[in-house]
Structure 1
């Protein structure tokens, strides 16, 4: 087959989304496309690359073996395009300005610990500019490795080679389809979930992350059976649970952040909790001033007990009236507004 054109970045994004969902309808909805338009994009991409990326039947969509092999390269191209766009949108006016590039997922952005740390950091260090970048579940580690961000708010564990400052601890819960008989029980045990397939993260996720969030192996030594998905975002993970009858484990705060009528979140009595924190790459030489300041704020707030788990709103609190007055040392900085002093790729 003759290849005449290079693939477009938007076509590569479509490939990544379809690889996550393995369903044209759901992928098209995420991309704000019609299903025929998405199908046309994928066909055009396959023609331009000269390969078949997906095997399609009337019942399901699957990546071909070559499609699996090309995914890491596709992600690299899309990440590079994002980095180029971000650099163009946020040029530095002062080469000597102190800028800290912080990565965080959609989930991390809503947590009280994230808001309190950033608000306190920018209060105590007004000359520090914080540049936020939204990351998916895979990028939260890879973006640090390639130097796209300096530090990131993530759920631990992370691979070797990173420094960590734990902030909060919370339970993990299991996500089940609403129609699952187990969803009628308020509390489960891991043995109840034996044999249920677990939604697979994209292969770029580190093995330590994949094993922790899948509880693989289970306490009895049983290895987990994974689905064929290539998930990088929580919403895609929940769609896979809903449509394909799989399960997934998430922090308990997910029940508040991602309520869905087709999903139930249930306590698992013998499931270990998870820890949320800040991470940055280990360095042999001197750590930059921005990371030093961030690590110091994390330690001081944690030691003072000022970092409750959960979101920036208490369960019974009206967010329109919530107030958090600042203390004399700046470590009571408010959490109801955006991360003050920062610049965001959401803007």
Structure 2
């Protein structure tokens, strides 16, 4: 606040931090998404509250919630950040520095090697403005619709998208903690034959839906789906806890999405997940996209050697669905 009690202008980075925190309601996850330390995030939020003259958050050792003022100011903050982004994009276009809009599947930006790739890119092109756009199971659709320049996402992707594989790992089953299976340490897909999988939104590409539902199952049997139409994993957790359906996410969900009422079980015959950096062929050689691809290749090579996974040349005609 100024001496006369009027709100002081707040830096855009503080407004952006508040928006991410309003999504996550968790300081640790928010700090990781913003690639800053948790103390630095706390300081930014305290400074923002002081500048605006209102308390935005109720904090406790157990949870974070928006205050009434925080909820009411959220649309204005969101519009202010959008306006700042538009201004930076216009300025970048005139200066020649440019900008890069990166789609990020939910919390995938917290998983290695994504932070290392972004750090490498920023070190190479510090003058380029980077904006992260969080998406969900429809990240490939968001990329195809041109809302982002590139995207970090889980594979597979529909035809017409190029990608570089960055990492892979084990998956698990997310089920209700009240399910009798939750008492077991490891299960098979056959054990899940009577549990429906949460139904997907039509915006989620078919190739993605089938892979992440393990449909068909190893015995050739089809998967039964609910009518939920989920588009994001975080939003599906309540339905899982209520025993309405299951999901088969990366095992990292244990760490990134711990929820009361949800149990994560190892599945011995579940195919692994793969993570990739994806782009459209038309944008492949744009300077910022090319630089991010090169940063990703460098990080992959450092971690896995010259024989690391790379399907960046694979392009197939796009078919809807």
Alignment of 1:16-27 (within 5 A): none
Give me the whole-angstrom Cα distance separating, in 1, the residues matched to 2:262 and 2:152: 26
Partner secondary structure for residue 301 of structure 1:
helix
Alignment of 1:91-110 (within 5 A): 91-92=87-88, 93-95=91-93, 96-110=96-110
Task: Give structure 2 stretches of 5+ with no counterpart.
Answer: 1-65, 67-77, 306-321
**Map of 1:230 onto structure 2:** 229
Task: Show CA shifts across 1:136-184 (max 9, x none).
Answer: 222x112211211100110111101111011111101000100111111
Find runs of 4+ consecutive structure 1 residues off by over 4 angstroms.
83-87
TM superposition score normalised by structure 2: 0.66
CA change 1:230–1:85 in 2 (3 A) is farther
Give me the whole-angstrom Cα distance separating, in 1, the residues matched to 2:125 and 2:146: 23
The answer as to whether partners of 2:107 and 2:256 remain within 8 angstroms in 1 is yes
CA change 1:270–1:87 in 2 (3 A) is same
Give me the whole-angstrom Cα distance separating, in 1, the residues matched to 2:269 and 2:164: 26
Give me the whole-angstrom Cα distance separating, in 2, the residues matched to 1:105 and 1:274: 14
CA change 1:306–1:119 in 2 (3 A) is farther
Partner secondary structure for residue 164 of structure 2:
strand
Alignment of 1:174-253 (within 5 A): 174-253=173-252
Give me the whole-angstrom Cα distance separating, in 1, the residues matched to 2:226 and 2:243: 9
Partner secondary structure for residue 153 of structure 1:
strand
Give me the whole-angstrom Cα distance separating, in 2, the residues matched to 1:286 and 1:238: 36
Moved more, 103-112 or 151-160: 103-112
| Aligned-residue offset at 1:87 | 4.8
**Map of 2:291 onto structure 1:** 293
Alignment of 1:1-347 (within 5 A): 87-90=82-85, 91-92=87-88, 93-95=91-93, 96-138=96-138, 140-283=139-282, 287-305=285-303
Give me the whole-angstrom Cα distance separating, in 1, the residues matched to 2:256 and 2:249: 11
The answer as to whether partners of 2:175 and 2:243 remain within 8 angstroms in 1 is no
| Aligned-residue offset at 1:292 | 0.8
Partner secondary structure for residue 146 of structure 2:
coil
Give me the whole-angstrom Cα distance separating, in 1, the residues matched to 2:196 and 2:246: 6
Give me the whole-angstrom Cα distance separating, in 2, the residues matched to 1:167 and 1:286: 17
The answer as to whether partners of 2:167 and 2:275 remain within 8 angstroms in 1 is yes
- The structure with higher relative contact order (CA 8 Å, sep 6+) is 1
Q: How many residues align?
A: 226
The answer as to whether partners of 2:141 and 2:205 remain within 8 angstroms in 1 is no
The answer as to whether partners of 1:176 and 1:245 remain within 8 angstroms in 2 is no
TM superposition score normalised by structure 1: 0.61
Moved more, 298-307 or 263-272: 298-307
Task: Give structure 1 stretches of 5+ with no counterpart.
Answer: 1-31, 33-82, 308-347
The answer as to whether partners of 2:171 and 2:270 remain within 8 angstroms in 1 is yes
CA change 1:206–1:86 in 2 (3 A) is farther
| Aligned-residue offset at 1:306 | 7.0
**Map of 1:13 onto structure 2:** none
CA change 1:286–1:300 in 2 (3 A) is closer
